[in-house]
């Protein structure tokens, strides 16, 4: 998934061509900021200050503006995360259905130990998130882009088998 070092330029070659295509769809370069940041995250797994500066340069924005957007949206990682980024809803409706137990099971079976930490093998990072909009299917979990409902502490080990 991550095919470049964080020190390499993101918008060279094919990615630059893709970004140019995206920019054509918008009236201003600034409007392409979110997809540009998404491309950075696809390439590096997270958005470093250096990458924010590159995005700012390409889109003719200030690095401070880009950083403001990155820090606003929780979907952008500001530090390296595991290959599998696991988000567990722990808002009240899910919580009363056992979400805390689901979180504990993930922390234990991934080896992460604590929320926000990455497992030693680099595979997993587990975080809690607010309502994922599937309150009737507690507990919903996002593993990268996969949305999985009805997760329980008992089903966590089997679920993780899919993400090795
Ligand atoms: S409270 Fe968990 S999905 Fe809504």
pLDDT tens-place string over residues 138-159: 999 999 999 999 999 999 999 9
Q: Give yes or no for residue 2 having a pLDDT over 60.
A: no
pTM of the model: 0.82
Domains of the chain: 13-72 (1.10.10.1590), 84-161 (3.40.30.10)
Decide: 115 and 128 in contact? Cβ < 8 Å.
yes
CA angle 21, 37, 8 (to 5 degrees): 90
Q: Closest Cα partner for 100 from 54, 156, 34, 18?
A: 156
Collapsing DSSP states into helix, strand and coil, what is residue 146? Answer: strand
- Using 50, 70 and 90 to split pLDDT, how confident is the model at 122? very high
Residue 12 confidence class, pLDDT cut points 50, 70, 90 = confident
- pLDDT tens-digit map of 72-93: 998 899 999 999 999 999 999 9
Give the Cα separation of 103 and 124 in Å (integer). Answer: 13
Ligand 1: residues with CB < 6 A are 89, 91, 93-94, 131-135, 138, 140
Query: Per-residue pLDDT for 52 more than 60?
Result: yes
Ligand 1 center to 8 CA (angstroms): 39
Centre of ligand 1 from the C-alpha of residue 138, in Å: 7
> Is residue 4 over pLDDT 50?
no
């Amino acid at each position: 998934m991550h095919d470049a070092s964080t020190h390499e330029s993101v918008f060279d070659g094919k990615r630059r061509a893709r970004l140019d295509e995206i920019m054509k769809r918008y009236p201003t370069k600034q409007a392409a900021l979110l997809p540009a940041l998404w491309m950075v995250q696809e390439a590096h797994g997270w958005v470093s200050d250096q990458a924010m500066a590159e995005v700012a340069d390409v889109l003719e924005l200030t690095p401070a503006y880009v950083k403001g957007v990155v820090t606003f949206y929780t979907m952008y990682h500001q530090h390296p995360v595991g290959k599998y980024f696991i988000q567990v809803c722990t808002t009240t409706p899910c919580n009363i259905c056992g979400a805390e137990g689901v979180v504990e099971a993930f922390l234990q079976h991934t080896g992460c130990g604590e929320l926000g930490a990455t497992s030693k093998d680099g595979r997993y990072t587990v975080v809690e998130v607010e309502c994922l909009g599937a309150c009737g299917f507690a507990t919903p979990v996002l593993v990268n882009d996969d949305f999985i409902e009805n997760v329980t502490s008992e089903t966590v080990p089997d679920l993780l088998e899919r993400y090795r």
